[in-house]
Amino acid sequence: MSQYVLRRLLIAVPSLLGISLVLFVVLALAPGDPFSELATNPNVPPEVALALRAKFGLDDPIYLRYLHWLNAMLHGDWGFSFVSRMNVDTLILQRLPATLYVIGSAQILALLIAIPVGVYAATKPYSLFDQIANTLAFVGFSLPTFFTGILFILIFSVTLDWLPFVYTTDIKGTGIRWVLEMIRQAIMPVAVLGLFQAASMTRFVRSAMLDVIRLDYVTTARAKGLGQAKVIVKHVMRNAMIPVVTLIALQMPAVFGGAIVTEQIFRIPGIGSLLISSILSNDTPVVMAVTFVFACLVVLFNLIADVLYGWLDPRISLR
């Protein structure tokens, strides 16, 4: 087991190197300039902008820039933002709590809806409940978050005036009031993201359950006289969860990576909005750091998912 993990970690090194190389080259070849805003400011002579480019090493050849970046990364230096003139790790750590809170809550909400609904729908396929759940799931994942987000804002903020639509990180008040405000302002983004995720996950759970529920061993378990609840939870769910775990594990990096669209709509200062504003302003060190960390997390959670298989199904042996 530990040997397996070690081997997987070693394999991850070259793949991460490859990912970083591809990311870096794509970003370096992408058009644009972090100092483009200076170009239309008549007060700034072009040679000043040019000197800045040289100072930040933007005129060096790509391979040199990549080696510099790699060397710094190995020393724990994530780079220096062109736009904010501060260290990228500080910038990212500042944004992490909001993303973890909002996207994490949305994932939990999605699981809390998807698993019970999916399981129950699978136990009674084509019943009224199943039909309704299916229809709603279809509607849910056909509606993009930028649409539902704006719809929610129009209904709950503009018309009803119940919820704020600008997320603030410095809520006034302490103790219980602070907690309530934090929950209040997160309701809309969490609902938008959570319902969207729940919709596709429900379909997934349902079909995974249906695959297992018809197997002979389930019939055997029922024939032994076990109750419906015990059969579903102990026998069916455990086996049906294997693909679901994969899906969840692959979603976990998103909890750290943020949700670009939702964060932009509700002005949540998370990683997603940092990423998009950095891309728009061509702040490559930040884009590089965020995407690379994201890549590391994907590799890591894949490994975790594989290890979990062994626990869920002892027949899968990890060598």
Task: Name 288's Cβ contacts closer than 8 Å, sequence gap at least 6.
Answer: 20, 23, 24, 27, 69, 79
User: In the complex, what is the shortest distance from the CB of residue 162 to another protein, in angstroms, rounded to a whole number?
Assistant: 11
Contact 99, 181 (CB under 8 A): no
User: Cβ distance 177 to 108 under 8 Å?
Assistant: no
Integer Cα distance of 165 and 183 in angstroms: 13
Type of residue numbered 285: P
37 binds another protein (CB under 8 A): yes
The structure tokens listed for 316 are 């899968």
Closer Cβ to another protein, 140 or 272, answer by number: 272
Measured from the CB atom, the residue of 3 and 40 that comes closer to another protein is 40
Q: Does 165 interact with another protein (rule: CB under 8 A)?
A: yes
Contact of 19 with 70, CB cutoff 8 Å:
no
Question: How many angstroms separate the CA atoms of 185 and 178, rounded?
Answer: 11
- Taking the least distance from each CB to another protein, the nearer of 123 and 281 is 281
Task: Give, in order, the Cα–Cα distances in Å from 59 to each of 66, 73, 101, 177, 209.
Answer: 13, 20, 39, 52, 56
Does residue 47 bind another protein (CB under 8 A)?
Answer: yes
User: According to the binding rule CB under 8 A, does residue 174 interact with another protein?
Assistant: no
Joined tokens for residue 172: 């006034």
| Cα–Cα distance for residue pair 181/164, rounded to 1 Å | 10
Q: What residues contact residue 116 under an 8 Å CB cut-off, 6+ apart? A: none
Q: Which residues contact 21 (CB under 8 A, 6 or more apart)?
A: 66
32 binds another protein (CB under 8 A): yes
Site stretch for another protein (CB under 8 A), options 46-54, 187-195, 221-229, 235-243: 46-54
Contact status: 50 vs another protein (CB under 8 A): yes
Question: What minimum distance in Å lies between the beta carbon of 289 and another protein?
Answer: 14
Q: Would you give the binding string for another protein spanning residues 195-234, x where CB under 8 A is met?
A: ----------------------------------------
In whole angstroms, the minimum distance from the beta carbon of 133 to another protein comes to 33
Residue among 137 and 275 whose Cβ is closer to another protein: 275
**Residue 127 tokens, joined:** 């019943």
By CB under 8 A, the residues from 265 to 294 that bind another protein are: 265, 267, 269, 273-274, 277, 280-282
Residue from 6, 9, 18, 55 in contact with another protein (CB under 8 A): 55
Q: Are 79 and 57 in contact (CB under 8 A)?
A: no
**Residues near another protein (CB under 8 A):** 31-53, 55, 80-81, 83-86, 91, 94-95, 153, 157-158, 161, 164-166, 168-170, 264-265, 267, 269, 273-274, 277, 280-282
